[in-house]
Amino acid sequence: MRADEAPDRGHINHDDRFRGWVTTLVITLIAALTRFANLGYPTDAGTPIFDEKHYAPQAWQVLQNGGIEDNPGYELIVHPPLAKQLIAIGHAMFGYTGFGWRFASAVAGTVLVLLIVRIARRMTGSTLLGAVAGLLLIADGVAMVASRTALLDIFMTVFIVGAFGALLVDRQQVIDRLEIVRAQGRISDSPFGPRLGFRWWRFGGGVLLGLACASKWGGLYYVAFFGLLCVMSDVAARRAAGVPRPWLGALRRDTPAALASLVLVPIGLYLASFWAWFASETGVDRHIVGIKVGTDGPFTWVPDALRSLWFYSAHVLSFHESLTNSAGNHHGWESKPWTWPMSLRPLLYYISDDGSLTSCGAEKCVSAVMIIGTPAMWWLALPVLGWALWRIATRRDWRYAWILVGYGAGFLPWFLNLDRQMYFFYAVPLAPFLILGLTMVLGEVLGPQSAGAERRKLGLMLVSGYVALVVVNFLWLWPILTGDVISDQRWQMELWLPSWK
């Protein structure tokens, strides 16, 4: 990235910091209003909808059983415990109700908006663009529905985005520390460059990645992608500072500690999330050693608890691997990853159209919840991704590279096994990175501060017009994101494409 394009973090004055936080809190409040409005509706006759039927009861078991699920009917828990433990907090506060089992998701979805405002502001150096990013995320149908249902993806996503933000701060701190050494004339004292001390933000990123993995196994992909991103970022920082051998310098000075922060710490946090399972007598497969796992062999030195957890994890993996189309597993609303960037095949979570609803003023009323990307944003995904690649190739803009890594970590791994049964809600982690990419493009439309007044005025009009279009599109979709009762005619008008039906 060229120096004249880089946001100057060191010269943001105190007034702008104050405005930045006021803006952040206002946008976050708006997000909370949308996420919590009528949160307890709809339910399926007082019971959870869609896959809430798995996680809301399991979270209730977590609350009742000292932190673990019993799940006697299936003899298998298919995801790590952290997200369900967080859902259980809502149960503890509000009981086994729609509001109770969705409360933690709404909190996570609100925090996600706060994080995106701060991250976009850091990447662009603009409080205005930070606010734009927050508004776009508020108006995204995917983030909206994920924040209002008791599924696990919103928890993994908020931890992933938090880790992304922490690593962004770490990147800037590395640059600042290297600049101090360079200014002192000591950058070439060693061909590998200086040691940079303990990097607390990178450590924090590792903690958040561990929490992502403890919510869903999909967090593992981000450990790999973000780990490689950090190595490349360290190399680039050392090269820019004038370190004689930046690759070796990064590998010797930075990578060992990075492995500890971004690999060992997540492993430790993942294991720690099973605290209740380790302490239990009745956890699924907790005492499987001596029953289905032998007491001899080359791994007898491993504690029985860890061997039991390994067996349990292999059991879970086997379950997921069996959910394939070739094995006869089909669902009317499943989709493959190439349809996700443009939200071509959304997912219907709930529908009631059996004539029991009469409050819409029409002959037939419908209440439905569908997770769907706001078209005004998601239909631009391919151009935005293409523009990001162009900017990386022609301007070496690191910001687009970071966004593409985050997007790719949530998208590319799903192509490894296309036979697997898949659904659009797996694309929830794509939403914040798509919006960061859109915000970067809107920043270029807006123009730099150094542009003339007329240029900035035109840019502001275009950006404002686009944000208004997104908000209008979101408001049109609102009934099918929240389950509002509408006429059957309006329901049909909401379904823009044949693949949405």
By C-alpha distance, which of 134, 135, 200, 139 is closest to 161?
Answer: 134
Q: pLDDT at position 11, please? A: 45
Q: What residue type is 75 in one-letter code?
A: E
pTM of this structure? 0.95
**Mean pLDDT for each 10-residue chunk of the chain (501 residues)?**
40 74 97 97 94 94 89 71 97 97 98 98 96 98 98 98 98 96 94 96 98 97 97 97 96 96 97 95 88 86 93 89 89 95 97 88 94 98 98 96 98 96 97 98 92 91 98 98 96 95 91
Residue 397 to residues 13, 126, 392, Cα–Cα distance (Å): 25, 17, 5
Positive or negative, the Cα torsion across 52, 81, 372, 317?
A: negative
* Collapsed DSSP state (helix, strand, coil) of residue 196: coil
Q: pLDDT at position 315, please? A: 86
pLDDT in tens, 180-194: 999 999 999 999 999
Distance CA 247, CA 54 (A): 47
Distance CA 322, CA 324 (A): 6
Element at 87 (helix H, strand E)? helix 82-94
Q: pLDDT at position 334, please? A: 94
pLDDT in tens, 290-327: 888 888 888 889 899 999 999 999 988 888 888 899 98
Positive or negative, the Cα torsion across 373, 379, 382, 388?
A: negative
Distance CA 65, CA 284 (A): 12
Angle at 305 between CA 274 and CA 217, to 5 degrees: 40
Domain residues of the chain, as ranges? 290-322
By C-alpha distance, which of 495, 494, 482 is closest to 368?
Answer: 482
Residues 6+ apart with CB under 8 A from 35: 106, 109, 110, 144, 147, 148
> Within a 10 A sphere around the Cβ of 441, how many other Cβ atoms?
18
Q: pLDDT at position 395, please? A: 94
Write the DSSP assignment of 48-68 as a string of letters: --TTHHHHHHHHHHHHHTTS-
By C-alpha distance, which of 360, 154, 479 is closest to 494?
Answer: 479
Residue in the structure block whose two tokens are 């828990």: 77
Q: pLDDT at position 448, please? A: 87
Backbone φ, ψ for residue 473 (5° rounding): -60, -40
First to last CA, the chain: 44
Question: 347 - beta bridge partners?
Answer: 371
Q: pLDDT at position 300, please? A: 86
> Within a 10 A sphere around the Cβ of 482, how many other Cβ atoms?
19
Number of H helices, E strands in the chain: 20, 3
